[in-house]
Amino acid sequence: MTSPEDAAPVKPPPSFSGAPIVVPKSRFEADSVQSPRPLSSELREPPSIGSPRALFSSRSESQSRSASPSNRLSGSTFLPSRASLSSPLGSLPDSSDNTRSLIIRAFAPSIGIFASDDTEDLVRQKGFKNGFLELLRPFGENITGKVVVRDSAGLSRSWEDYGVRFVNLLTNSDRVSHATSTSPLSQLEEVLQRRLDFVEDSTNRSSRLNQLPLTNKYIASPLYQLLLRRLLSIDAPTPHETFLHPVACVIAISSHNKAPLESLRQLYAQTTQGDTAPPSYVHPEFLRYYVLVHDEDRSNIEESTRLYDQMKRHFGLHCHLLRLRSGQCVVTDDDSIEVPSCEWLSPEEDLLEMNENNALIDFGTGVNYLSESDVTAIKSLVRELVVQSVIPFMENKVALWNDQVASRRRGISGRFMSMSRRWAGFGSSSRSTTSSGPAGGMTGNYNTLNGFYKHDAPEAILRKLADFAFMLRDYKLAASTYDLVRSDYANDKAWRYHAGAHEMCAMSTLLNPLTSAARSKLDGVDQMIDTACYSYLTRCTDPVNTLRCLGLSIELLKSRGGSATEGAAKWAMRAIELGLAGPIGQALLTERVSACYASKTSTGGAKWGARNRKAGMWSVLATDSWLKLGKPALASVCLEEADRLYAEVYDKDSAVPMPEMRTFIDNLQRAVKLEYLEAKGVDTSDEVVVANQLGTEETSEKLDNRANRKSLLLPASLDVGPMQHEGNGSKPLDDDFE
């Protein structure tokens, strides 16, 4: 049960970067949706344009061009089309709208790296300046082969896309979360801006970019997928969720170590006590995995083997012997293999990497290489670590906590004690009596001064149980556990925990393939999303997690299809209204609204239930957004997409019947053309030259409007609402087909 204030409307904070898109407060606005232009595609520069422009298309497919009428909205032969598309971001793995898989892979177990100085020196000699972490990290993001995971019911399922996140144990456990500030959002916007600028500058060098087949009509653009990745990769650990808390720790020494066993003991001690110990909200009982790095070039394998046997006798079976060459591998070596790039970089890491490669001319510069034997050895280490140690460890912990903590809460006695603690004030844990009331900063098990539960509190254990189940992809157990504990967080007024439990309960429900698609079930999910956003934003002033919650909701609802797509569009509009993202993020969200509506399928020959008109309207709004940002190529693609969507609603030979809408579209079309003429180097102050280039008789009165072409808004006459002027036989905009 949520309190009445949970359902209260969220008061939008000041816009992240200026006022958000101005949309009329009417049913016309609520029903209009913007189309997500797949940034995964880069349109080839038209030959008539002087400066190279990186062009990105929204959910385009090869057939859509032929199905669309002849450029009614785009209207000029020099404007770009979706006919030839390539990936502007090149190495991004998802070329289809598989954002559901992206979200599943984003929540992976974190494994800390804690290596001795001699190990770090050995790895740096191989060209990895950040040491052992940089060497292992790319190979953890996708484990070689299938990974079998057993759920709480004892059923096994194999996954081919399972991965883990290698992190620096010390910096990851000791950092203070900055999620309550707008710094990550500022960095996220800067990443998007610099990616766009880089693509525009390198269009003439795009021969190395991968060509992506466009077979899905509603694919998400690579830029939008980049936004999701960076948003889901923000790496500041927080007390309220344990996804970034270490599940295991790799303790590594090399064969050059003079006192290997003693070094391993010291490294272990540093992970449990002193300045390097994890904070009190991080559970200290994470798995320790011991690795001996053998130098193939300068060490004796027999001595390393004997040492490895000693390690297993002293520390158990969670040990591995990693055999690496100490020399640096270069591209000219016969067996050299390029080290894959990391997919899950935080915005801060991405900016640092771009700064280091500021003078990059092609994608081959600054790439690390390893010998084939090294790559095979590292993949073997990572797979053995995950399959034989980490997954069984997590499964055992889930079974233990589920039996000892969660089962008691689910039983009648557990529910009674929870109710009595809430209403009568007794039945709380004995730990809560160690503090003398509010003066000691404690309410129940929750430390109100520092804002977290200690790792051994039942509420913290239940959250960790739910997070472990989520990372093991047991979404049924995860959803039931989040649901079990969220009322406790509300009782303790632990609002960030409260918001996180509602958010992840909704996500687990949507990810569970057995969840009913009934409207009543989705209404419950919507209520949880609304409660999570309210607590994050209003109670905790946390725009980062608010945007993450909305982004996950949009994609998981959209992936369910049917009526859920309209719910996805609603939450995308909420994100735009709150102004959480920067200008580029707002434009991408506007496109995503259109994609949500466009993906709603119709029934019957009369196309009942389709939302193409709403999708077209939001695609037009996306055109306006890209024009304001000075991106005519992207604006042109959105305008063409709106043309295709409207063509599916109206007869092919007729234009949009609403005069105000037609005027707005004409203004956008002319603004896009003028932007391209300027890019071509044409003097747009010469009316005759402009008219010849456009192929029309433009009057000076029309051309004088070019000064306002970057801030085109809906005509004031549209502000009256979705009805045309009364007395003209008008009717609501949604009556036809929708």
Q: Does 464 or 692 have the greater pLDDT score?
A: 464
Q: Is the pLDDT of residue 308 over 80?
A: yes
Task: Count the neighbouring beta carbons within 10 Å of the beta carbon of residue 715.
Answer: 14
**The two structure tokens encoding residue 599:** 């993906």
Q: What is the pLDDT of residue 521?
A: 75
d(CA 677, CA 50): 9
Instruction: Indicate the range of 77-91, 263-277, 611-625 predicted with least confidence.
Output: 77-91
**The two structure tokens encoding residue 49:** 């344009």
| Residue 572 binned pLDDT confidence (cut-offs 50, 70, 90) | very high
d(CA 142, CA 209): 22
CB 407 within 8 A of CB 413: no
Q: Is the pLDDT of residue 97 over 80?
A: no
Q: What is the DSSP string of 479-547?
A: HHHHHHHHHHHHHHT-HHHHHHHHHHHHHHHHH-TTS---HHHHHHHHHHHHHHHHIIIIIT--HHHHH
Q: Is the pLDDT of residue 120 over 50?
A: yes
CB 670 within 8 A of CB 709: yes
Per residue in 364-423, pLDDT (tens digit) is 456 899 999 999 999 999 999 999 999 999 999 999 999 999 988 886 555 545 555 454
Beta-bridge mates of residue 157 = 149
Q: Is the pLDDT of residue 32 over 50?
A: no
| Residue 46 binned pLDDT confidence (cut-offs 50, 70, 90) | very low
Percent of the chain with pLDDT over 70: 67
Q: Is the pLDDT of residue 295 over 90?
A: yes
Q: What is the pLDDT of residue 64?
A: 37
d(CA 47, CA 68): 23
Q: Is the pLDDT of residue 265 over 50?
A: yes
Domains and CATH numbers, the chain: 7-36+402-429+454-650 (1.25.40.10), 115-177+217-398 (no CATH)
Per residue in 330-364, pLDDT (tens digit) is 888 888 999 999 999 999 999 988 887 765 544 44
Q: Is the pLDDT of residue 643 over 50?
A: yes
Average pLDDT over residues 277-302: 94
Instruction: Indicate the range of 596-605, 644-653, 704-713 predicted with least confidence.
Output: 704-713
d(CA 469, CA 358): 41
Q: Is the pLDDT of residue 251 over 50?
A: yes
Q: What is the pLDDT of residue 361?
A: 47
The residues near 610 (Cβ < 8 Å, ≥ 6 apart) are 600, 601, 602, 648, 737, 738
Q: Does 641 or 215 have the greater pLDDT score?
A: 641
Q: Does 737 or 321 have the greater pLDDT score?
A: 321
d(CA 370, CA 374): 6
Percent of the chain with pLDDT over 90: 50
Per residue in 478-491, pLDDT (tens digit) is 999 999 999 999 99
Average pLDDT over residues 178-186: 67
The residues near 528 (Cβ < 8 Å, ≥ 6 apart) are 502, 503, 505, 506, 509
Q: What is the pLDDT of residue 659?
A: 81
d(CA 459, CA 240): 10
Q: What is the pLDDT of residue 428?
A: 41
Q: Does 339 or 92 have the greater pLDDT score?
A: 339
Q: What is the pLDDT of residue 225?
A: 92
Q: Does 231 or 685 have the greater pLDDT score?
A: 231
| Residue 689 binned pLDDT confidence (cut-offs 50, 70, 90) | low
Task: Give Cα separations from 730 to 324, 390, 483, 618, 737 (angstroms).
Answer: 76, 64, 48, 22, 16
Cα 393-396-397 angle, rounded to 5 deg: 85
Q: What is the pLDDT of residue 159?
A: 95
The pTM for the full model equals: 0.79
Cα 385-388-393 angle, rounded to 5 deg: 90
- Judged on CB neighbours under 10 Å (0-12, 13-18, 19+), 379 is middle
d(CA 405, CA 414): 9
